[in-house]
Amino acid sequence: MNTLIAVAIAPFGVGDELGQEIAEVVKVIRDSGLPSRTTSMFTEIEGEWDEVMKVVKEATFILAEKGIRTEVVLKADIRPGYTNTINTKIDKINDILGG
pLDDT digits (tens, 9 = 90+) for 17-61: 788 999 999 999 999 999 999 999 999 999 999 999 999 999 999
pLDDT score recorded for residue 16: 76
Give the contacts of 5 (CB within 8 A, at least 6 positions apart).
Answer: 44, 45, 46, 52, 56, 74, 75, 76, 77
Domain at 14, CATH number: 3.30.70.930
**pTM for the structure as a whole:** 0.90
Span 8-13, average pLDDT: 91
Overall domain count for the chain: 1
Total count of residues recorded for the chain: 99
Q: Residue 12 sits in which domain range?
A: 2-97
| Average pLDDT over every residue of 75-86 | 95
Q: What is the pLDDT of residues 56-79, one digit of tens each?
A: 999 999 999 999 999 999 999 999
Neighbours of 42 (CB within 10 A): 16
Q: Do 74 and 6 form a contact (C-beta atoms < 8 A)?
A: yes
Provide the pLDDT confidence category of residue 6 given band limits of 50, 70 and 90.
Answer: very high
Pairing of strands 43-48, 36-38: antiparallel
Q: What is the pLDDT of residue 1?
A: 93
CB 62 within 8 A of CB 10: no
Question: At residue 99, does pLDDT exceed 70?
Answer: no
